């Protein structure tokens, strides 16, 4: 057994969580409390929570109790010195503070896995959906080298917007089997938990739809290109190519609906290849899709990256969002589209694969690929 796997088995990988009292932070804690490799070592939150045991500092809103090994951890300020023993720092910070804090953590040579949007458009920061574009990890050395002074261990890596995540997993599976997609139409019906807590006022969403989520459509239309695109290299400098070799147009219409967890989307795509694949070929390609994270043995990766439903009325968020602890993506109703080629329905659990679960698998990938430096001999 390698030193690496020995260290993992002994749970020697200490992790910290920024924004630990918030919605995403609570989800990180729930998921990490039983993680086979990682052990929660430090929790950071805003000044009004610091100095208190976690159980007193948080307004816990999960349906399982606070893990007992976390209740008494004293919440710290989000300053690098409190996290210096953490090989991995997960960030569930809000966008209004994430930029500065995550930057300071990277400058202190810490490895940050962020759920915030602040660095997603940074040309040296990978935007990784772990079931899709793990190979973007190869950008990390360049990010570290660009820093003054160059970083040894520190970097920032982000995961994608929750709605983007659900979209790119099946799109990647289709591009892998059938080549480039040219156009994609997506209408989302997004859960309230995507807006955090307190988030959406009940007066705005009970018996209602809000056909607008600020900035969301732009994120989906842009992030999809960065994630599904490759990395070009010129004069030794790497760059994300934004799917530019095969231009892809994405049109997103985003809606908030009275669903607690789980983003549902209607998706339609047009392939470059003529004739396009049949619905049955698409179903088979989706079922067969196995991401690298799975073959490499990342423990939080779902068995079925994509579960394809055969019943005509599935996936449904309330029934299907918990499958595989929300780590996979559900697809249903694969059929021909009269305007583009193929249309289908996607469901992704926005608080799992759409948020904390993705960060955790990204960290698992980074550990296995040696991007995260562990304190082993």
DSSP class per residue in 121-140: T-TTS-B--TTT-GGGGGGH
94 contacts a second copy (rule: CB under 8 A): no
Which position among 78, 162, 184, 298 bears the catalytic label? 162
CB of 200 to a second copy, least distance (A): 5
Minimum CB distance to a second copy smaller for 144 or for 324: 324
Taking contact as CB under 8 A, which single stretch among the options 111-119, 132-140, 226-234, 318-326 is the one that binds a second copy? Answer: 318-326
The answer to whether 17 and 38 have CB atoms below 8 angstroms apart is: no
Phi, psi of 247 (to 5 degrees): -55, 135
Query: Which of 254, 263, 298, 309 is an active site residue?
Result: 263
What is the DSSP pairing of strand 263-271 with strand 181-190? antiparallel
3-state secondary structure of 245: coil
Q: Which of residues 330-369 bind a second copy (CB under 8 A)?
A: 332-333, 337-340, 343, 345
Contacting range for a second copy; rule: CB under 8 A; set: 42-50, 68-76, 131-139, 246-254: 246-254
8 Å CB contact between 350 and 265: no
Question: Which of 11, 98, 75 is closest to 374 using CA atoms?
Answer: 11
Return the C-alpha torsion angle 366, 368, 373, 376, nearest 10: 160
Q: Measured between alpha carbons, how far is 147 from 107 in angstroms, rounded to an integer?
A: 8
By CB under 8 A, is residue 74 in contact with a second copy? no
Residues in 284-303 at the binding interface with a second copy, rule: CB under 8 A: none
- What Å distances lie between residue 95 and 19, 118, 282, CA to CA? 11, 6, 37
If binding is defined by CB under 8 A, does position 198 make contact with a second copy?
A: yes
Q: Measured from the CB atom, is 214 or 236 closer to a second copy?
A: 214
31 belongs to the binding site for a second copy (CB under 8 A): no
DSSP state of 276: P
Q: Is 376 in the site for a second copy (CB under 8 A)?
A: no
Question: Counting contacts by CB under 8 A, is residue 250 touching a second copy?
Answer: yes
236 Cβ contact partners less than 8 Å away, ≥ 6 residues apart: none
Q: Does 247 bind a second copy (CB under 8 A)?
A: no
For residue 67, with 0-12 CB atoms within 10 Å meaning exposed, 13-18 middle and 19 or more buried, which class applies?
middle
Element (H or E) spanning 162, and its range? helix 162-178
| Residue 203 sits in the site that holds a second copy (CB under 8 A) | yes
Mark whether 162 is an active-site residue. yes
Minimum CB separation of residue 193 from a second copy in Å reads 6
String of contacts with a second copy for each residue 158-197, x by CB under 8 A: -------------------------xxx-x-x--xx---x
Task: Rule CB under 8 A: say whether 283 interacts with a second copy.
Answer: no
Residue 310 touches a second copy, criterion: CB under 8 A: no
209 forms part of the interface with a second copy (CB under 8 A): yes
Runs of H (alpha helix) within 274-314: 279-288, 292-296
Site membership for a second copy, residue 201 (CB under 8 A): yes
Between residues 56 and 245, which has the closer beta carbon with respect to a second copy? 56
Q: Which is nearer to a second copy, 210 or 242 (CB)?
A: 210
C-alpha triplet 199, 346, 357: angle, nearest 5°: 60
Spatial separation of the C-alpha atoms in residues 205 and 62, rounded to whole Å? 21
- What is the rounded distance in angstroms from the CA atom of residue 141 to the CA atom of residue 123? 13
Q: To the nearest whole angstrom, how small is the minimum distance from the Cβ of residue 236 to a second copy?
A: 33
Partners of residue 77 on adjacent β-strands:
45
Query: 3-state class of 338 per DSSP?
Result: coil
Told to check if 319 binds a second copy by CB under 8 A, we report yes
CB nearer a second copy, residue 81 or residue 207 = 207
Q: Which is nearer to a second copy, 102 or 216 (CB)?
A: 216
Give the binding site for a second copy (CB under 8 A). Answer: 61-65, 183-185, 187, 189, 192-193, 197-212, 214, 221, 249-251, 253, 255, 257-260, 264, 266, 268, 312-323, 332-333, 337-340, 343, 345
Question: Which residues are tagged catalytic?
Answer: 162, 263
């Amino acid at each position: 057994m390698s030193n690496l796997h020995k260290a993992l088995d002994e749970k020697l990988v200490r992790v910290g969580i920024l924004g630990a009292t918030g919605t995403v932070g609570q989800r990180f804690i729930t998921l990490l409390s039983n993680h086979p490799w990682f052990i929660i070592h430090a929790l950071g939150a805003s000044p009004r929570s610091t100095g208190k045991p976690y159980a007193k500092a948080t307004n816990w809103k999960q349906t399982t109790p606070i893990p007992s090994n976390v209740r008494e951890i004293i919440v710290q300020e989000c300053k690098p010195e409190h996290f210096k023993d953490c090989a991995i720092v997960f960030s569930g910070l809000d966008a209004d503070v994430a930029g500065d804090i995550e930057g300071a953590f990277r400058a202190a040579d810490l490895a940050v896995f962020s759920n915030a949007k602040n660095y997603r458009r940074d040309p040296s920061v990978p935007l990784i959906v772990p079931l899709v574009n793990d190979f973007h990890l190869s950008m990390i050395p360049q990010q570290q080298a660009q820093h003054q002074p160059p970083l040894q261990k520190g970097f920032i890596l982000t995961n994608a917007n929750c709605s983007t995540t659900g979209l790119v997993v099946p799109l990647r599976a289709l591009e892998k089997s059938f080549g480039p997609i040219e156009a994609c139409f997506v209408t989302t019906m997004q859960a309230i938990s995507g807006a955090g807590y307190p988030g959406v006022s009940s007066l705005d969403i009970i018996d209602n739809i809000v056909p607008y989520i600020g900035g969301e459509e732009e994120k989906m239309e842009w992030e999809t290109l960065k994630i599904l695109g490759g990395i070009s290299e010129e004069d030794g400098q790497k760059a994300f190519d934004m799917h530019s070799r095969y231009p892809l147009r994405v049109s997103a219409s985003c809606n908030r609906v009275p669903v607690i967890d789980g983003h549902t989307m209607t998706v339609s795509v047009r392939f470059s290849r003529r004739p396009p694949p049949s619905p049955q070929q698409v179903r088979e390609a989706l079922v067969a899709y196995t991401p690298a994270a799975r073959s490499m043995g990342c423990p939080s990766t779902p068995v079925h990256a994509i579960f394809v439903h055969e019943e005509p009325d599935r996936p449904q968020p309330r029934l299907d969002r918990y499958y595989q602890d929300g780590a996979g993506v559900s697809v249903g109703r694969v059929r021909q589209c009269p305007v583009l080629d193929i249309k289908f329905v996607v469901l992704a659990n926005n608080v799992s694969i759409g948020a904390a679960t993705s960060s955790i698998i990204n960290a698992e990938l980074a550990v296995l690929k040696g991007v995260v430096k562990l304190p082993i001999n």
